Amino acid sequence: MSLRAPALLALFVGLWLLALAPRAEANPRSLVIINGKGLPVYYNDGDTFRVLEGKLAGSPARLAGFNTLETFGPAHQWKGWTFKELYVNSKQATLNARRGVWHCSVDPSDRDGYGRLLAVCPDLQESQIRQGLAHAMSIDGPAEPRLIRAQRDAIVNRRGMWAKGVPAQVLTSLHSVDERPDSKGNYNRLVSPIDGYSTKWLHQDKYAECQDVCHPTRELPREVALRLIGELRRSEATRRAIHGVEDVYLMVLLNEYATLGRVPQIFDAKGQRAVTAHLAAAKAAGAFNAAAEVPGACMRYVKFERRYRYKPDCLKW
């Protein structure tokens, strides 16, 4: 690359932002490099934007690979956080997205269930996750290894949404049973904070407006968790798999296992089998009997049509 190229790129970005400045206050515009071309977008929140110009003008886009917390009001709570504090986190994610120049790839034929474009923005993904402004999320399996590593870094260093503790599962959506015509398949969505894998919490509950709904979670006492981690580190079969993995991260993994019976997929195939077998044997021996049921991640229920206009008081700041 020519030495002039970075300077020319910086000049281009500066001139582009300057040209947009007079109208920025109405609908804050940001520059995104989409399929190699700079285009203006408007970020609704930290994981969605709307393309404002070009062939895709007017198209909403869902940013794949991660999820930010809801911005329609104080909707999330877990561990030491209040609903309002995690609402601030969601707004910080929006600002982080708007202030950067990110690179995204988009296939116009690839859409999500709501008809939105699916945009893959690797640099924004990692920025949001590493700062604890988003969590990795995947519907089809574990998240990409690089995103799992970024999230581990955020958890271990207590950044953003992880600063006051990590739930066994992140609760990302609520659906009252009366919302769906086919109520037999009614579910809320859960996401692993360890590998980003999304699962369905099936239920037949009807929620009232502004009801706080918490996912039932089982957590081990700290001393029991540390004892199990010590056994994993000493075992010939598992010590290689967890070498270098921090205790605080493994404690979250153990709580996910205690809650769902699932070992997050963060090890190679051999290590995954070994850790799964070790924890299954420990469970059979009663090691998880000490796990207590506690409120996990919570969300505040409000129907979609009441989230943005005519908000109930529980969603007002």
What's the pLDDT score for residue 19? 53
What's the pLDDT score for residue 5? 53
- The answer to whether residues 171 and 215 touch, using CB atoms and an 8 Å cutoff, is yes
Taken in order 279, 282, 284, 288, the sign of the CA dihedral is negative
Element (H, E) at 221: none
Tell me how far apart the 2 most distant CA atoms of the chain are, in Å: 68
Report the alpha-carbon angle 68-70-73, nearest 5: 150
Task: Give the per-residue SS3 of 260-296.
Answer: HCCCCCCCCHHHHHHHHHHHHHHHHCCCCCCCEEEEE
What's the pLDDT score for residue 113? 86
CA quadruple 147, 152, 153, 155: dihedral, nearest 10: 130
Q: Provide the CA 92 distance to its chain's centre, in angstroms.
A: 14
Tens-binned pLDDT, residue by residue, of the chain (317 aa): 444 555 445 545 444 544 554 444 567 999 999 999 999 999 999 999 999 999 999 999 999 999 999 999 999 999 999 999 999 999 999 999 999 999 999 999 999 988 999 999 999 999 999 999 999 999 999 999 999 999 999 999 999 999 999 999 999 999 999 998 777 889 999 999 999 999 999 999 999 999 999 999 999 999 999 999 999 999 999 999 999 999 999 999 999 999 999 999 999 999 999 999 999 999 999 999 999 999 999 999 999 999 988 899 999 87
